Amino acid sequence: MFLKTHKTAGSTVLNILYRFVESHNLSAALPAGPRVHLGYPWLFLARYVEGVSRTGAGPLRRFNVMCNHLRFNLPEVQKVMPNDTFYFSILRNPVSQLESSFIYYKDFVPAFRHVESLDAFLAAPRTHYKASAGLRNAYARNSMWFDFGFDHDAPAEESYVRARLAEVERRFHLLLIAEHFDESMVLLRRRLRWRLDDVVAFRLNARSAGSVTRLAPKSRERAKRWCALDWRLYEHFNRSFWAQLHAELGPRQLRSEVELLRARRRELTVLCLQDSAPKNKTQITDRQLRPYQSGRANILGYNLRQDLDAAMLRTCQRMAMPEIQYMAHLYSLQFPEKPPKKIPFL
């Protein structure tokens, strides 16, 4: 079970899991009906999953993998996932995570909608942020904390924070760190006992450099204070991530495994992609490979080489496919009797 937090490189992890589900003929807990997420921003309920209900009084159906956006709610997750499920998630520095959220959700989040820049927002956040505006504002403050099912507006009191961090530690076997993505994949692969190709991925749902804002130093400090709960979450699990990694691998072995991963990614980049550089939406020729665009973000994607044989084309398409299209593809495979998902932006 992968808790996909927002704006943390989770789309790339999702692609890895989707490919594993498809290649091993596993079942995924996918959003029911026309939904593209599992009830977010409401706390997750088992009924948000397609095919979860059985006729009669029998138990709910269990799935092999759950990885779509949801707000974590353990008792409901446990209704659809087996008892021996491996739970993991990913975190990102809250300053860069907030910057990404501001650009991506600019037109969606009430707190962001009428302010020109994140610097201006952070100079007086309570002028723009009103808790009463509803759950859409969760993207504007402590959104990773919120994704874990906690109160993103709670005061960052020490006893409260420590209790919640302990709760995450009890449930989650591993928390990855977005800034150290390759090292995260090395540790994830070892924990799951997967092959190297199972965790090699192209970067998905990434923005162009031109849509990334460099924050003023004062704003960075203000962001840490504004998202104090996320900052504590990140600091705590960044430390524990490196402790776990160093307990398992010496420095030389870690460098070797990271380089193996990067070398394989470079090899697949040459084999799959027409041009190793990602493209903006107007340059992507295959509609199925065009990523969803949001806010002021320019989300990049890929063009595939034209000379691929059938087997290699299948591999490369899966690696380059954006998450919404891949979710719709898996849904059609898993529930061929249901109406296919509609993707409005295509």
Backbone angles phi, psi at 23, to 5 degrees: -70, -25
Average pLDDT taken over every residue of the chain = 96
pLDDT beyond 60 at 87:
yes
> What's the rounded Cα separation, in Å, for the pair 61 and 55?
10
Which token pair is 26?
A: 């596993």
Instruction: Label the pairing between strands 88-91 and 2-3.
Output: parallel
| Structure confidence at residue 55 (pLDDT) | 55
**What is the per-residue pLDDT across 209-219, written as a single tens digit (0 to 9) for each?**
999 999 999 99
Burial class (CB in 10 A: 0-12, 13-18, 19+), 156: middle
In the prediction, which pLDDT does 54 show?
63
Separation between Cα atoms, residue 219 and residue 232, nearest integer Å: 18
d(C-alpha 165, C-alpha 45), whole Å: 23
> Does the structure show a pLDDT above 90 at 275?
no
Mapping DSSP onto H, E and C, the string for the chain reads CEECCCCCCHHHHHHHHHHHHHHCCCCECCECCCCCCCCCCCECCHHHECCCCCCCCCCCCCCCECCCCCECCHHHHHHHCCCCCCCEEEECCHHHHHHHHHHHCCCCCHHHHCCCCHHHHHHCHHHHCCHHHCHHHHHHCCHHHHHCCCCCCCCCCHHHHHHHHHHHHHHCCEEEEHHHHHHHHHHHHHHHCCCHHHHCCCCCCCECHHHCCCCCHHHHHHHHHHCHHHHHHHHHHHHHHHHHHHHHCCHHHHHHHHHHHHHHHHHHHHHHECCCCCECHHHCCCHHHCCCCCCCCCECECCECCCCCHHHHHHHHHHHCCHHHHHHHHHHHHCCCCCCCCCCCC
Tens of pLDDT, residue by residue over 174-210, are 999 999 999 999 999 999 999 999 999 999 999 999 9
pTM (2 decimals)? 0.96
User: pLDDT tens digit string along 286-323?
Assistant: 999 999 999 999 999 999 999 999 999 999 999 999 99
Question: What domains appear along the chain, each with residue ranges and CATH number?
Answer: 2-334 (3.40.50)
Q: What are residue 15's phi and psi, to 5 degrees?
A: -60, -40
